[in-house]
Amino acid sequence: MAACLLDTNILSVPEESTEVVGLWLELVVSHEIKGKRVHDAHLLATMKANGVTRLLTFNVADFPAGTGLTILSPSAQPLSDPSPHL
């Protein structure tokens, strides 16, 4: 995993790496992402580079399909999810 700027028991923020930038460019080009949606693609690239496979968001439509990541909506999830991590 990439080095972290902040690492506590509560929050870990990964650094921007060349892997993230490469994945970001790949997502933007392959999904023809433009405008403000490039920031959503950056989030997905950061997730992918750091082994995060699922995202919980109220804006599922903002994220392209076919990224290899699971995009979940809180309104579509059961109240008692047996999986402890997103």
pLDDT tens digits, 31-40: 999 999 999 9
Q: Has residue 14 got a pLDDT over 60?
A: yes
Label residue 5 by pLDDT band (50, 70, 90): low
Domain span at residue 70?
16-76
User: Does residue 29 lie in a domain region?
Assistant: yes
* Residues whose CB falls within 8 Å of the CB of residue 70, separated by 6 or more in sequence, listed in order: 53, 54, 55
* Euclidean distance between CA atoms 5 and 66, whole angstroms: 30
User: Does residue 44 lie in a domain region?
Assistant: yes
Label residue 29 by pLDDT band (50, 70, 90): very high
User: Does residue 6 lie in a domain region?
Assistant: no
How many domains are contained in the chain? 1
This prediction has a pTM of 0.69
